Amino acid sequence: MVYPSTITDIYAHPGISDADLESIFRAHVKVFFYKGDLILTEGQFSNAYYCLEKGLVRAFARNIDGKDITTGFFSKNEIVIEVASLFLRQPTRENIQALSDCECWMIGYEAFQELFEKIEGFTEWGRTWMSRALLANKQRSLSMITDSATNRYLSLRREQPEVLQVAPLKHIASYLGVTDSSLSRIRKEVAQMGR
């Protein structure tokens, strides 16, 4: 049987067989979100995660002044998830929002737990996924310290170019840790450099 490439991509792992993949796929349900929809709101308990087949999603937190800071972007074939709330069973401090119309494969916490217990290689896969997420996060903190705002912008452009196409400047700015005025200037400067 053939599964959506989003599923085969995300769950690709030596310990996961074709039969496993079938059980995994069956545990997912197709869901849609529309531009602007909040997939998760602070204070809620997260109860599922989403394999993103199409669209762009962002996570954001509020700082003390109530200003929202984008903490991450999720692109095609990535898992839209709030780990802390889902796995620590606590209310989330983050919000997750669709930045464009989205198609996802959702899996609920219960179904996930079953797979986690039943499928040998699934826990391994999970650990690997977590390790990668942790690594990515560390690199982000590091780049906040060692790179200039311009370089962080260039990295984002290199690694998630679709974000620059879809997300409004203010979300990108807060993600990069600068104001929108600054990002506007950075962008101008980069455009001139390019010539």
Partner DNA sequence: AAAACTACTTGTCATAAGGCAAGAAATCAA
Partner DNA sequence: TTGATTTCTTGCCTTATGACAAGTAGTTTT
Q: Which of 44, 71, 155, 184 is close enough to bind a second copy by CB under 8 A?
A: 71
Instruction: Provide the minimum distance between the beta carbon of 188 and DNA in the complex, in angstroms, as a whole number.
Output: 4
Q: Which of 1, 2, 19, 64 is close enough to bind a second copy by CB under 8 A?
A: 64
Binders of a second copy among 171-190, rule CB under 8 A? 174, 177
Shorter beta-carbon distance to DNA: residue 28 or 152: 152
Q: Which of 25, 44, 77, 87 is close enough to bind a second copy by CB under 8 A?
A: 87
The answer to whether 131 contacts a second copy (rule: CB under 8 A) is yes
The sign of the torsion formed by the CA atoms of 5, 11, 17, 22 equals: negative
The answer to whether 140 contacts DNA (rule: CB under 7 A) is no
By the criterion CB under 8 A, which residues form the site for a second copy? 61, 63-64, 69, 71, 83-84, 87-88, 116, 123, 126-128, 130-135, 137-138, 140-142, 144-146, 174, 177
